[in-house]
Structure 1
């Protein structure tokens, strides 16, 4: 595409929000998160003795779930810690919003629903920052779109 730019940027000002009881809540002290995606589609081979051009043939079958992690600084019993633990224990499907920045400015977002399938509070060490990792499995996902505050 003429005029297209693809310059590197950093994740500064990125955000991840998860539904609590009433609204989307921005998780605090997020250090990184995987960009949610719709996953991949499994393929089953249907090759036969007369497959054209000596090429294997396939048919698309089920979608394979996509998982992503959110890593954050943590403090036990904080609002973010409590929300992540509750989402794991409930095992329910919750709305989320991932905000993608460009040079410190939110420019795009991905919304959808996900289930918390893991929450690890990490480790306590003599001089390390306590980090937690929440793992989510995408259930539904919308196309990437322009950011809305």
Structure 2
């Protein structure tokens, strides 16, 4: 198959969070990274006869992978209330991040997360209030083709 890698923008990307089990689309999302599984820790197993004078390692635990979702802040909205509740409990929630290509959803990442923190932003004289929700990956799947809600 021919390579079709072309630059695109995040227009029409989406972030969905469980309330606590039914997915709800977070409104006014401005940005989010595409999270990964987290780096694997390594324990050294080098011994006196390690081949080729090289250190040896065995993979152990995945390090935690945290990421932020930035959105326009609107206190007491449904999105605000959901994120505030999620940050206040220890519930593992489903999440879906939709990745667009030129304004069309083409891929998604399904994962489970804990909301570690929710900051409602800063009130200032001439700027938009931005909220930031910080999530920790609990489980994560591969990037797969997009499936519309209810599809």
Question: What's the TM-score, normalizing by structure 1?
Answer: 0.96
Q: What is aligned with 1:56?
A: 55
Runs of 4+ in 1 over 4 A off after TM superposition: none
Conserved? CA contact 2:21–2:93, under 8 Å: no
Match runs of 1:67-78 below 5 Å:
67-78=66-77
- Secondary structure of the structure 2 residue equivalent to 1:87: helix
CA distance in 2, matches of 1:107, 1:3: 18
CA distance in 2, matches of 1:27, 1:36: 17
* Farther off after superposition, 13-22 or 128-137: 13-22
Q: CA offsets, 1:83-121, max 9 Å, x none?
A: 000001112100000000001100000001100001111
Q: What is aligned with 1:25?
A: 24
CA distance in 2, matches of 1:26, 1:74: 15
Match runs of 1:1-149 below 5 Å:
3-21=2-20, 23-149=22-148
Structure 1 residues without counterparts, runs of 5 or longer: none
Structure 1 position 22, deviation (Å): 5.4
Structure 2 residues without counterparts, runs of 5 or longer: none
* Farther off after superposition, 48-57 or 70-79: 48-57
Structure 1 position 36, deviation (Å): 2.0
Question: What root-mean-square deviation, in Å, do the aligned CA atoms of Structure 1 and Structure 2 show?
Answer: 1.1
- Secondary structure of the structure 2 residue equivalent to 1:82: helix
Q: CA offsets, 1:41-89, max 9 Å, x none?
A: 1001111221111111101111111111100001110110000000011
Aligned length: 148
- Secondary structure of the structure 1 residue equivalent to 2:142: coil
CA distance in 1, matches of 2:35, 2:103: 20
